Structure 1
Amino acid sequence: MTEQSQMQQATPGYHGVKVLAAVLASLCILTVAMTLGLGHLYMMAVATAMVPLLSYSLGKRMLRGLEVRREVADVAWDGQAVAVKVHVHNRSATPKYFLQARDNLPEQAELAEGDGVIPLAVPARGTQTAEYQVRFQRRGRYTLGPMNIRATDPLGMFFFEHRLREQTEVLVLPSPLSLPQMNMIRGATFTAGGLHSAPVRGDSVEFLGIREYVPGDPLRRVDWKHSARHGDLFVRDFERFTQSEVCVLLDCSAGLRHLPNSFEVMVKAASGALHQAYAGGLPFRMLVGLPEVDGLPARCSAERLYECLYRLAEITPRPDFVWADVVAKAVAEEPPGTLLVLITAAADPSLPPLLDACVRKQMQVVLLLPNVPALDRQGGVRDALHDGEFLRALSVPHVNVIPLHPGGGS
């Protein structure tokens, strides 16, 4: 993205010590001239007094005829340095010296190196390009600018500043959190280079086991010998393999506003899960309680990945978000064999029954829980990772609990 502006009227300033020194020098020469009656010293005193005025005039002209253009990427990643290029074009026939440019940076943005001051010397009817590096500490939408252009006179007595009105927006995406344990899910592989299948009960040559008969089971699968031995109907189960689908659910409950650092880790974990699904060739979708996001079907494409990341860049906890409803929606809509990735920090008592429903529907579940700092546990949110009763309720087959840490992966 580029922004361009022409220089307008500059705001002048001066260095008092230098100006005072020039004035005192002129007065001293004038005093000597009056004392000794030397006529040529009068001319020297006048010339000395004219030097600051001439230098002022030259310095003021340094900002005339300039056009400045800022060039920066529309999208960036948090924690990574982003190059910002500044193009200064001189439309006049005189070269421009003694120029400096500096951008105003928003909060959560810092210079990757240096102090951000860009020295400029633009030739007549020429262009100079300079560059600085900025690093965004967190995801979000940031605004660079306005940019300050500063010129000084040849003697350094005066300076002139102009502020560009134009600003440039940069959308900063959450960098993916490393999730090394995701490939340890029982029954499903979720890695960049592994298989993408999950066992689902059905018809196949792979024998899975014997279970009690339930209405709707075909009679051809009844194990009559086992049924006669136990006095009740039992059926043989087999295993078929279908391609897994990944559904990432991010808890955006209002209470997480009191855990900003933990919520940032959760967003990075969502980014990491989406990246792994895309790298592994798995269809994926994301549920965050927003109809325009939740309504998107599962698909494995770079376009879908960045659609989700753009939403994650600006997602915040919301008072209208109900975590249990989002999980229930996923359980109802997702097909058997789906890998559900649930990311939350709260020990919601309604979650274990919903996970039991996932198991009955033969889904795989990964629960990502951030390690909430001790000082943040004093709030109204029950910390899921340190709630023993909640964790015991999650000890069911096909549910894998993975702790998250701010400094890295699980």
Structure 2
Amino acid sequence: MELLQTSRFRLIALIWFCSLLFLLFQGGRLSFMLFTGFSAIVLYLYLVSKSGISGTQMTRSMPLAAGERITAGTSAEVHLKFRIPGFMPIPYVLVTERLRRRRGSETTYEVSFVPDWRRRGEVRITTPPLQRGRYSFGVTSCSVEDIFGLYRYTKNIEVPMSFTVFPQKVRIKEWQDFNQMYLGRHLNSISSEVQRETTQFNGVREYIYGDPLSRIHWNASARTGTWKSKEYEKEALPRMLVVLDCAAEYKGRAHFETAVSTAASVLDYGLHSDLPVGLMTNEAAVYWAAPKRGKVHYEQLLDRLIDVEADSGIPLEQVMQTRKLELDSRLFLVFITPREDASFLQFLRWCKMKGMQSSVLQITPEPGRQAANWQKELITSGILSYRIGALHELPAALGGGKA
């Protein structure tokens, strides 16, 4: 492009010089009109080059409501505001915006706007549905052209900005089998007698409507300007460990995304049920987070799910065997995997022999005879099992409707 514009500049300069020679040696009205016309064009091109595009200022924003997050499968709106110094009228400005996804490709968006009389303008870009991951904006290019299309003047603006697209999740209102297993048939909620609070002070949390005055932490409330409540340790809480299988054979990207979203939904259930939850993924770099309670710990686990990929060849049972010292009878293991083989079944029976309760959320888009036989085998072994073809099926499956 630069070489082409240099050639055009030389051509225009040559034509203008020839018109000058024609005026000097030939004279007359025709030569004067040609020289005047070419001089006006050259002056116009010069003024366009000084139009102020080189001093363009830009601000970028993404309007989101307080606490709102961008989740996978949704679009994002980007607002770009420009201010161009100078006085030369500009018919339009062409904007090229670049959006990069970490460990992914770059997407380019081209839009244009007509500056107002103050040489200001605004454009809005709506992205297509985004995948889970971390995104950042690259260099933004602003370009103007003359009316003849001879030159394009470009200004590259770099305004660093990044955002995160979180995995999808659904709200699990009740996990029937889990409640019966740990709370008994006569208790209807996780927040019950099995979670009686001790007198051991555990920290400060956000005020929940209905908290008695005795629970309000007055010092923290005065210091932060928002209501805070005291939090105490709880007794006999089951510890849930979510195990996301990254080494299994998934049928495409969407299949694995369903597994990741299922893991995010189970972690969300643990948060709202006030359970200690942990996460294990058998990626190339194995991730293990012991079960803990609290919003901060939940955010750390969710942050891990943003970057998780199905890029490992380490079998699930092999990774778990290396953590035998951290496995105890208080753990409730939630396996999220499409596997249905004998080796995995043998490992599940080993977990049951060690006193650990297990549950298998089998991610199988198309149920078949083999999947049905696998479900029967697990149920016969006393292992909770659910088949999930899509994320929206999860609440119904855990609420009591086994697939």
- Which TM-score band applies after superposition, normalised by the shorter structure? 0.5 to 0.7
Q: Which of residues 378, 403, 408 in structure 1 aligns to 2:387?
A: 403
Q: Does 1:298 align with 2:298?
A: no
* Matches of 1:12 and 1:85, distance apart in 2: 34
Q: Which of residues 189, 195, 202 in structure 1 aligns to 2:189?
A: 195
* Matches of 1:12 and 1:66, distance apart in 2: 24
Structure whose alpha-carbon radius of gyration is higher: 1
Amino acid at match of 2:49: K
Displacement, 1:281? Answer: 2.2
User: In the TM superposition, what whole-angstrom CA distance separates every residue of 1:204-260 from its partner, at most 9, and x where no partner exists?
Assistant: xxxxxxxxxxxxxxxxxxxxxxxxxxxxxxxxxxxxx9433321101121x537744
Q: Which of residues 264, 267, 288 in structure 2 aligns to 1:271?
A: 264
Displacement, 1:268? Answer: 1.4
Q: Does 1:83 align with 2:77?
A: yes
The equivalent of 2:199 in structure 1 is none
The equivalent of 2:115 in structure 1 is 121
CA contact (8 A) 2:72 2:165 kept: yes
SS at match of 2:393: coil
The equivalent of 2:209 in structure 1 is none
Q: Which of residues 45, 58, 68 in structure 2 aligns to 1:68?
A: 58
CA contact (8 A) 1:78 1:136 kept: yes
CA contact (8 A) 2:139 2:158 kept: yes
User: In the TM superposition, what whole-angstrom CA distance separates every residue of 1:289-322 from its partner, at most 9, and x where no partner exists?
Assistant: 4788414442231x22221122112112344633
Displacement, 1:109? Answer: 7.5
Q: Does 1:249 align with 2:239?
A: no
Segments of 5+ residues of structure 2 without an aligned counterpart are: 195-234, 395-403
Q: Does 1:151 align with 2:135?
A: no
* Matches of 1:334 and 1:371, distance apart in 2: 27
CA contact (8 A) 2:271 2:293 kept: no
Amino acid at match of 1:195: S
Displacement, 1:334? Answer: 4.9
* Matches of 1:57 and 1:182, distance apart in 2: 72
CA contact (8 A) 2:362 2:385 kept: yes
User: In the TM superposition, what whole-angstrom CA distance separates every residue of 1:162-189 from its partner, at most 9, and x where no partner exists?
Assistant: 4446664443322225667844546158
Segments of 5+ residues of structure 1 without an aligned counterpart are: 1-9, 201-240, 375-383
Q: Which has the higher contact order (CA 8 A, sep 6+)?
A: 1
The normalised TM-score by structure 2 is 0.65
Q: Residues 385 and 144 (structure 1 numbering): CA distance in 2 closer, same or farther, change over 3 Å?
A: farther
* Matches of 1:264 and 1:333, distance apart in 2: 28
* Matches of 1:288 and 1:391, distance apart in 2: 23
Amino acid at match of 1:58: L
Displacement, 1:406? Answer: 4.2
RMSD: 4.9
* Matches of 1:403 and 1:364, distance apart in 2: 18
SS at match of 1:282: coil
Q: Does 1:365 align with 2:358?
A: yes
Superposed, 1:120-199 pairs within 5 Å as 120-121=114-115, 128-153=121-146, 157-164=150-157, 168-176=161-169, 182-183=175-176, 185=178, 187-188=180-181, 195-196=189-190
Displacement, 1:284? Answer: 0.9
* Matches of 2:370 and 2:380, distance apart in 1: 18
Superposed, 1:14-93 pairs within 5 Å as 39-62=28-51, 63-71=53-61, 76-90=70-84, 92-93=85-86
CA contact (8 A) 1:71 1:86 kept: yes
- Identity fraction in percent: 17
Q: Does 1:393 align with 2:377?
A: yes
Displacement, 1:99? Answer: 1.7
Displacement, 1:404? Answer: 2.4
The normalised TM-score by structure 1 is 0.64
CA contact (8 A) 2:280 2:286 kept: no
Q: Residues 101 and 294 (structure 1 numbering): CA distance in 2 closer, same or farther, change over 3 Å?
A: same
Q: Residues 269 and 95 (structure 1 numbering): CA distance in 2 closer, same or farther, change over 3 Å?
A: farther
* Matches of 2:106 and 2:382, distance apart in 1: 42
CA contact (8 A) 2:243 2:279 kept: yes
Amino acid at match of 2:258: V
